[in-house]
Chains A and B, each alone.
Chain A
Amino acid sequence: MKGWKNGRVADKARFVSRFTFLICFLCFPFREQHAYSQSQSTLEASYRSADALYQSGQYQQAAEKYEQIARSIQNGAVYYNLGNVYFRLGNRGRAILNYERAKRLMPRDKDINFNLKIAKAQNVDPFDLVKPLSGFSLLYGALHPNEIIWAGLVPYWIAAASLIAIQFTQKRHFQRTLRYAIWIGGITWLFSLLVLDLKIREINRPYSIVVANEVMVRSEPDLGSETIALPLHEGIKIQLQEERNDWVKIYLPDENSGWLTADAIEKI
């Protein structure tokens, strides 16, 4: 009996339903499951067995297990546990390397930051050889990229919804409210994209950790060239400038640079 209501005005209804579908589609990807080389359950099983190996003090085997998991997924907890294993094995360089990797995925995790501090306190070189970050780093340093994205997406969607709603309303004060929402949401969104860009630039910085016990800094990528600075020791964080064959060029203080053999370092 009410059939005609879905008829003449059908295209509008179709539009609304399509819109709803899109919104759902948008939200859905963030809960998507990833294509693992191993199934989720296999991963979790190896994780549990690695934990058990750690608890029983079989660090070498635990390290292998965690490394295996870390090759499949990027997860802060895995890197953190791996860091602990290397710390127990006395491999401070790799411990710091994995804590740093964990910190990138879980920047505000207290355990990670604590253990990183403890491992670094045992470093021979009491400094990092990295270029200072911009002042914005305060803003995004403790945030995961996804958090920055969400912080921008929500206002962005509100702005988009307001932009649609404003076309259908005639009420003046409601239109005004919507206009505010559009401006604030839009600016927040653009700002979040800017911060995200900076964050990704920071993540993409070629930071590395010296994993060799001691490495000489040379003036040229050649074992015969002279050493130009004090040797670097295990655990120091460095920033790469250039990579060439088996050599990497690193930043030294005062705009200087030097070469290290590539096998002495590991990228974060």
Chain B
Amino acid sequence: MGTKGAQDKAFKRSGVGMLGYSSTLHVSRFMFYASRFAFSILLVSVFCNNIAYSQDITVSAEVTPKIISLTETATLRVKIAANQQLGNITPPKLKALPEFNVFYGGSSSQYNLTGNQFSASVTWTYVLKPKKVGQFTVSQIHISYGNKTYAANPVTIKVLAKSRKPPQSKSTQDTFTDAFSSSTHKVEASVDNSRPYVNEQIIYTFRYLYTVRIPSFNAPKYTPPSLRQFWQTELERKRSRRQVIDGTLYWIEEIQVGLFPITAGKVTIEPAKLSLPTAAGRSRLQSSKVLVTDPVEVNVRPLPQKGRPTNFASTVGQYRIHAQTDRQTIEAGDGFTLRVQVSGEGNIKTVPEPTISALPHMAIYDPQITDAIGVVDSKVQGSRTYEYVIIPSKEGRWTIPAIDYPYFHPQTENYQIARTVAITINVLPNPNAITGTTAPHTTQSDMHLLKQDIRYIKPDLLELSNQHLYPYKRVSFWAAQTLPIVIVLSVWFYRQRQAKRDPKQIREQYAAKKALRLIEYAKKHTTNEPTAFYGTLANGLYQYIGDIFDISPGGLNPELVRQRCKEAGFPESATTQIVDTLTQCDYVRFAPVAANPTDIEDALNRARAAIDEIEKERQLKT
């Protein structure tokens, strides 16, 4: 890969690496040409005392990869980060690096607002191409901002004579020239490492190069090869780029897949295909052109036997392991969580569970597993976390020993071991632990009740009555519920029957009562007015006789009354008394004379006595 390639790589990183948060992206191709100028203005700066370290502003430097060969390039990133808005910043000043050719790769800024926390950063990218072998330190990178100068951490690059990089697979291109649009289309497939170890990641790249797009609404259709012999991970899509190859400017589209070989041996990746669309406006009969790549051969190497740890379990990559507990002190019988995290670069999905040696007096339950997998610089990496719940049964100081996690490092081609630190747990005796079958869940209020005694028995003072629970089993209940209905109904029937009775009978029945009521009324209210009194009295008596014989009282006179009474066989005395009284009444009413109170009293008594006598007689008859 030449200088051009290095530039392209830097280009890619500055853009793609910041994907996600970057709101603005200043990458200028012309800056490549300016890089020579930037190199010329690199200053040999003297370490000054006025270099300020602010809590708000941090400057850092990073170089990737740290180990390169003479034919490769490394990328240096200088980053200024602040929790405030950054104003105009002059690019950092690099000390002259005589061991490298330095190319400026552009800058990118990033803003981030989480909650009310604001952060901003600017990153400058430089591509370093080594001139000689050795280990070099890039130090004294300074950025002036405001009135202060900030220094970045020094970074070290190791340059090897020979590339450690495994040979890339050769790729040939399938070419098609479209005469209509006079465009050239090529496809090629390659892997970045044709001799990987089992379970080491390789990158399969399908590349489509073209000079001009075929004028069609349809996009070219990609058919990926079958990749059954591998674990696959989709890698992030690269942006299209342009490149001059053999004097022709091509557009390049790339599709990359991360592959982890499952078994050792020779594996052939079948050709990938790309169907080009037919240009618009051309004969539909003409079939679309299909470009086919060559098959790619991968020679998967088995993991070496030499130096293989006994507890090794096919972990390939570069890993770290970290263990921690959520508590250091705990009561016996209570649980705590042991969190073991395996993180690194490699096929995270297949990493085996770390082996925790048996712990005395502790029950370990099956872990809960969480994965966090991502892709950085086309490398699959991430972490897998195992959360174990552990319940110590006995008090004391117990140690969870260090956990070994062996793995094979494909770059160094040897076995390495990641290891956690031992954790000591202080288990206290549990005051609440109760052994045995009975373990009441007593609450505070229950405890209070447990201390109290029951209340005393009920004395024999009260009457020993039977407190029935089932009222519906008793007659009195049904009596009390139904009798009112019976009574109401009987009263109603009685009233109905009464209303239906013969009016003559009713008249006869109430005759005496009505007459006496009138007489009483006469006595009470009209004794001072003789005329009115005798009138009422006469009315009462005529009414009485009329009621008894069921005739109108209006047509009656004393003579008629005498005749009726005689016919009915009423006592002679009573008949005489009534007739006399009526005659007296008529006499007083029609020939007014001053009435004598004794006369009035006498008339009243006579009327009452007569009615009494007649009633007795009538009752005898019935």
Contacts and interface: CB of A to CB of B under 8 A. Distances in A.
Contacts of B462: 77
Interface string B440-465: 11110010011011111111101011
B568 to A, nearest CB: 17
Given A1-B612, A7-B619, A157-B484, A32 B469 contact: no
A81 interface: yes
Contacts of B439: 124
A145 B471 contact: yes
B470 A200 contact: yes
Contact of B464 (A40, A104, A149): A40
A78 to B, nearest CB: 8
A15 B494 contact: yes
Interface in B483-509: 483-485, 487-488, 491-492, 494-495, 509
Nearest to B454: A115
Interface residues of A, number: 67
Interface size class of B (residues with CB under 8 A): 35 or more
B619 A77 contact: no
Interface of A: 1, 3-4, 7-9, 15, 19, 22, 25-26, 28-30, 32, 34, 36, 40, 43-44, 47-48, 51, 54, 69, 73-78, 80-81, 84-85, 87, 104-106, 111, 114-115, 117-119, 121-124, 126, 144-146, 149, 153, 156-157, 159-160, 163-164, 167, 196, 200, 203, 214, 233
B455 A111 contact: yes
B622 to A, nearest CB: 9
Interface stretch (B107-115, B156-164, B472-480, B576-584): B472-480
Contacts of A106: 467
Given A44-B464, A123-B440, A160-B484, A54 B457 contact: yes
A54, A80, A85, A160, most chain B CB atoms within 10 A: A160
A33 to B, nearest CB: 9
Nearest to B453: A118
B366 to A, nearest CB: 24
B544 to A, nearest CB: 14
B469 A8 contact: no
Contacts of A214: 437
B438 interface: yes
B466 A29 contact: no
A145 B469 CA distance: 6
Contact of A76 (B467, B492, B495): B467
Contacts of A80: 457-458
Given A118-B449, A149-B477, A153-B480, A47 B495 contact: no
A36 B465 CA distance: 11
B460 A51 contact: yes
Nearest to A148: B471
Interface string B148-174: 000000000000000000000000000
A156 to B, nearest CB: 6
B457 A75 contact: no
Contact of B474 (A1, A29, A44, A153): A29
A8 B458 contact: no
Nearest to A69: B464
A118 B471 contact: no
B615 interface: yes
A133 B323 CA distance: 52
A105 B491 contact: no
22 contacts: A1-B612, A3-B616, A3-B619, A4-B619, A15-B494, A25-B479, A36-B466, A44-B464, A54-B457, A74-B468, A77-B458, A84-B454, A84-B457, A104-B469, A105-B469, A118-B453, A118-B454, A126-B440, A153-B481, A160-B487, A163-B488, A164-B491
Contacts of A85: 457
Contacts of B485: 160
Nearest to B491: A164
Pairs of residues from A and B, 3 with the lowest C-beta to C-beta distance, nearest first: A29-B476, A160-B484, A121-B449
B460 A144 contact: no
A111 B456 CA distance: 8
Given A4-B619, A9-B509, A34 B446 contact: no
B512 interface: yes
B466 to A, nearest CB: 4
A119 B443 CA distance: 15
A122 B450 contact: yes
Given A25-B479, A74-B468, A105-B469, A164 B487 contact: yes
A55 B466 CA distance: 24
Contacts of A51: 457, 459-460
A121 B137 CA distance: 76
A148 to B, nearest CB: 9
B452 A81 contact: no
B449 A167 contact: no
Nearest to A77: B458
Nearest to B465: A75
Contacts of A77: 458, 462, 464
Contacts of B454: 84, 87, 114-115, 118-119
A3 B617 CA distance: 12
Interface in B509-549: 509, 512-513
A87 B475 CA distance: 38
Contacts of A200: 470-472
Given A54-B457, A126-B440, A149-B471, 4 more contacts: A26-B483, A105-B469, A118-B452, A200-B472
Contacts of A146: 467-468, 471
A121 B460 contact: no
Contacts of B450: 121-122
A47 B491 CA distance: 49
Contacts of A119: 454
Contacts of B495: 167
B415 to A, nearest CB: 51
Given A118-B454, A123-B440, A200-B472, A144 B467 contact: yes
Contacts of A156: 481, 484
B488 to A, nearest CB: 5
A123 B443 CA distance: 12
B615 A167 contact: no
B504 to A, nearest CB: 14
A54 B462 CA distance: 17
Contact of B467 (A8, A15, A29, A74): A74
Given A15-B494, A40-B464, A80-B458, A29 B483 contact: no
Nearest to A8: B509
Interface string B94-110: 00000000000000000
Given A9-B509, A80-B457, A233-B438, A4 B467 contact: no
B438 to A, nearest CB: 5
Contacts of A30: 476, 480
B510 to A, nearest CB: 8
Contacts of B612: 1
B486 to A, nearest CB: 8
Contacts of B466: 34, 36, 73-75
Interface string B360-376: 00000000000000000
A7 B477 CA distance: 37
Nearest to A110: B455
Contacts of B619: 3-4, 7-8
A134 to B, nearest CB: 19
Given A76-B467, A145-B469, A115 B480 contact: no
Contacts of A4: 512, 615-616, 619
A123 B440 CA distance: 7
Given A1-B612, A115-B454, A22 B470 contact: no
